Amino acid sequence: MRLIPAIDVIDGKCVRLTQGDYNQKKVYDESPIDVARMLEKRGFEYLHLVDLDGAKTSSPKNLYVLNQIALDTNLKIDFGGGIKSEDSLIQSLRSGANQVNIGSLSVRNSNLVKFWVLRYGADQIMIGADVKDRKLSINGWLENTEVDIMEFINDFMDDGARHFVCTDIAKDGMMAGSSLDLYNDIIDNFPGIELVASGGVSSIEECKVLEDMGISGIILGKALYEGLIDPDEVLKAFS
């Protein structure tokens, strides 16, 4: 199972939001690149990099941050935020992303994203599923839809998608536990899915529960930054 620390970027700075609210922003470091270097030095191999400016404006705004991290570290990076065109997808891959995370467009234009899965390969496309009450939210979590998470995943898996990251927005940034029931339902219903859990993971014990459930990766956010999860201890637990 992959342990994937998250770096969310606004105005070139490393931040965390609470429940996706841009008004509840906490700046953790002026330099996401320094944070990425520190994470690699501690022993992490993966990084979840989110361009929150891009998510809000529908076009990546922090590709230079992605590129610098890719040049300065050996972290395997999944990158998302504002990828709404094939040009932005290509730019993201060329800037150093190992995977691109596509959320809003997967809802708005699923046929196009399915084509990208076919064209670029399932391993380079991660489908982002951000949910409130099991319905998809898009555009930086600012717009709610009536798209059901289970129907959404089923539709994409039928057309070859394999990698998904699912975030329960109500849990995100709260450090009060993740949506275990939701993840369990997804794993039970979709054998073979590569599911990354995101939002609210707050302890090493919970990470172990998710691993036993069959989760392929866990995104560690505020709990890591606030010291609720010790990086050395969590890496040792899953080494």
pLDDT > 70 fraction of the chain, expressed in percent and rounded: 91
Rounded Cα distance, 21 and 19, in Å: 5
Per-residue pLDDT at 139: 75
User: Mean pLDDT of all residues in the chain?
Assistant: 91
The active-site residue out of 8, 51, 53, 168 is: 8
- Residue 89 CB contacts under 8 Å (≥ 6 apart), including other chains: 83, 100, 102, 116, 120
In percent, the amount of the chain with pLDDT more than 90 equals: 71
Domain parsing of the chain, residue ranges: 2-237
pLDDT tens string 30-71: 799 999 999 999 999 999 999 989 988 888 999 999 999 999
The yes-or-no answer on residue 130 being catalytic is yes
Catalytic residue among 51, 53, 130, 172: 130
What is the pLDDT averaged over residues 2-21?
83
pLDDT in tens, 138-164: 876 678 899 999 999 999 999 999 999
Residue 29 scores a pLDDT above 80 = no
Residue 20 in this model has a pLDDT that exceeds 80: no
Cα–Cα dist 226/21, whole Å: 18
Task: Mention the CATH class of domain 2-237.
Answer: alpha beta
Residue 93 has pLDDT above 90, yes or no: yes
Q: What share of the chain is helix, strand, coil (3-state, %, to 5)?
A: 40, 30, 30
CA angle 226, 231, 237 (to 5 degrees): 130
Check residue 140 and give its pLDDT.
66
